[in-house]
């Protein structure tokens, strides 16, 4: 389910939109939500608090795993992704639009988490063993907005 939020969304609007989404079908009956968080305790606590307020709970199956090993396992399993957002304070802007692969992992600067867990980058996963078929996409324009570097993905 896609939840629309405005650019530069303030937390109050985000929380309101998420509450609306969970109050409507098909999410109204969901009692447990899974998250891919790895080690940011404040984010986990926030998610658990918000879920508890609505009578739900969270599960964190990746919690505490080694991010380097997890990144290599992701690539070796055959998943394919692009870096679609880069924080240029942590990672050169030239990483926007790059494939998330073994080469990228070896070229990450020291201090950059290989899973982007500290917000260094965000990915779009478009293929892998759990996909019925890959999502056909290609990289497009790279732009800087609000202090971040984004790479558009286009159909194809």
Question: In this predicted model, what pLDDT tens digit does every residue of 8-59 receive, in sequence order?
Answer: 899 999 999 999 999 999 999 999 999 999 988 999 999 999 999 889 999 9
From the list 103, 124, 121, 99, the residue with the least C-alpha distance to 112 is 121
Contact of 39 with 66, CB cutoff 8 Å: no
Domains of the chain, residue spans: 11-59, 67-155
From the list 82, 101, 96, the residue with the least C-alpha distance to 156 is 82
88 token code pair: 């240029």
pLDDT at site 62: 94
pLDDT at site 6: 92
pLDDT at site 1: 82
Return mean pLDDT, the chain. Answer: 95
**Structure pTM?**
0.84
Please name the residue that has the structure tokens 């971040």: 148
66 token code pair: 């080694």
Report in angstroms the alpha-carbon separations of 66 from 13, 88, 125.
33, 24, 20
Provide the CB-side half-sphere exposure for 66 (13 A, CA): 4
CA distance 36 to 114: 14
CA distance 155 to 143: 18
């Amino acid at each position: 389910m896609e939840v629309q939020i405005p650019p530069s969304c303030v937390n109050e609007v985000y929380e309101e939109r998420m509450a609306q989404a969970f109050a409507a079908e098909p999410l109204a009956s969901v009692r447990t939500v899974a998250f891919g968080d790895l080690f940011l305790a404040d984010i986990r606590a926030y998610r658990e608090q918000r879920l508890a307020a609505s009578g739900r709970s969270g599960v964190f199956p990746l919690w505490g795993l080694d991010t380097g090993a997890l990144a290599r396992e992701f690539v070796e399993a055959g998943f394919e992704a692009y870096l679609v957002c880069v924080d240029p304070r942590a990672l050169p802007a030239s990483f926007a639009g790059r494939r998330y692969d073994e080469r990228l992992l070896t070229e990450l600067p020291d201090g950059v988490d290989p899973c982007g867990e500290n917000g260094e980058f965000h990915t779009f996963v478009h293929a892998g063993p759990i996909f019925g078929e890959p999502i056909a996409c290609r990289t497009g324009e790279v732009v800087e907005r609000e202090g971040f570097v984004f790479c558009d993905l286009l159909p194809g």
